[in-house]
Amino acid sequence: MPSLNGTILDATAYGIIYIRTLRLLSEMVVTKHKTVAQAIKMADALIKERGKHITPEILSDWKKNLPQSGTN
């Protein structure tokens, strides 16, 4: 399974906009602009409230690979 942290993903298999969004949320955690919980909540809102489709496998992989340094 492809990782979002530093790996270039196959753009034909995944929506580039959503991958960029998840990468941006990850960067917000790294820079401590958001906590891990806040980033996950924002990603979940994209799916549940705005109807965006991110495959469960990609979302699960992203959540597992979130940097834990922003959990303060």
Question: What is the pLDDT, as a whole number, of residue 37?
Answer: 95
| Residue 58 pLDDT grade (very low, low, confident, very high; cuts 50, 70, 90) | confident
Return contacts of 32-41, CB within 8 angstroms, 24+ apart.
32/69, 32/70, 32/72, 34/70, 35/70, 35/71, 35/72, 36/66, 36/67, 36/68, 36/70, 36/71, 37/71, 39/66, 39/70, 40/66
Model's pTM, two decimal places?
0.67
Q: Enumerate the domain spans of the chain.
A: 16-70
| Residue 1 pLDDT grade (very low, low, confident, very high; cuts 50, 70, 90) | very low
